[in-house]
Structures are given as structure tokens and as C-alpha cells.
Amino acid sequence: MNVVVLVSGRGSNLRAIFEAIDAGTCSAKIVGVVSDRKTAAALDLAAERDVPTRVVPLRKIDGRERWNEQLAEEVGMLGPDLVVLAGFMRVLGAPMLRRFPGRIINIHPALLPSFAGHDGPGDALEAGVRITGCTVHVVDAGVDTGPIIAQTAVPVLGDDTADTLHARIQVQEHRLLPRVIHQIAIGAIELDPLRVNTPVSDASRSLTVPDL
């Protein structure tokens, strides 16, 4: 299964996918890495492995709609079967969702539907919860609102800061995301593009989720 990974930062989840592929536990091939930031360290990680990279910056002069069109075109030229958002800090618009219906997944550092948005660990601490975690979900037009595929719980410790909690969540992200990609690749998880906008409570009807 050909995968394109979208990144904005250092690429720790990208590295985890590469390592799972190397270990034979993820039946996928990364055919491209795309970033909205030319300084993203994840681009260097991809280049070290001779994986094609693209940069599509969001410029005010172009506008968000044009950026989404450019992003969809660049990703499309790489020929993905699946698009994976791994620390990609932009909300995708209609051009991407139309181009890859039901074929975009995201990893989020919280147990959705709780604590959607850019600071899941910080929001969990502020809310005083004792359990948080990470979620892999299908991307739809909302912010972290698509059908849930799989989750892993992480305890919140009494002395946690947002940084220490996020670091422990990332350990689980690095395990969960490659597993989900593998399960999609072998057909154990079926993504249904006709039900991308299904509410989270109905997600189990549109996704076959094995015991990960």
C-alpha cells in the first residue's frame, strides 16, 4: 500500500512508520512526504531514505482554498493509496477531502472526542482528567471530528506537565499509528468513503476495527 505522509515538524511519527516498515510489521511503502514548512526536520528524514518530498506553504497571497488545491495536486502526483497526517498542523479543506475521500487518517494526542484541537495534552491537564491518550481517526471537514479507528489510553500523572504528558502519549502514538496503517494495508480495517462524515458515535458501523 502506497502511503503519503503529511508533516509539519520533526517527524517522530514518520520515523516510527519507517521503523515499522523496516521491521516488517507495517505492510506499506512511503512514496512521499509533504510539508507545509520547508524547515520541517521530517523532510530531512525522508530525504535520507530517498523518499520524494514536497513543500506546499500556506501563503496569505494565495489563500486557503488555493493552498488546498495545490496540496491536493502535489499529494495526488505521488500516487497514494492512503494519506497519513502525522503531526500536520493544518486543517484540510474540500479539495483534499474530495481528492482522497475516506483515505486520509490522522493521529491526535487525546482520546477523541475529548480535547480536539491543537493542544490535546494541555487541555487534558486543565480539565483534570486522570486518563487521556491518542486516537487515529478518519479525517473529515471538521477539526478532529472524523470516525474513530483506534485509541490507546495513557494515564495522567500527578506531576505531569503538558510536555511530559505529551512525550508519554507520543510513545503510544509511535506504536498505534504503524499498526493501524498495517491493518488498513492488509484489509483488516476497511475505510468507507461514503460515511466519512458519520458522527463519531456511529463510527463502528462504517469501520471494521480489529483488536490491535
The residues assigned a catalytic role are 108
Residues 6+ apart with CB under 8 A from 103: 80, 81, 82, 83, 191, 193
Write phi, then psi, for 85 (nearest 5 degrees).
Answer: -90, 115
- Alpha carbon distance 67, 183 (integer Å): 31
Q: What is the DSSP letter of 201?
A: G
What DSSP string runs through 82-93? EEEESS--S---
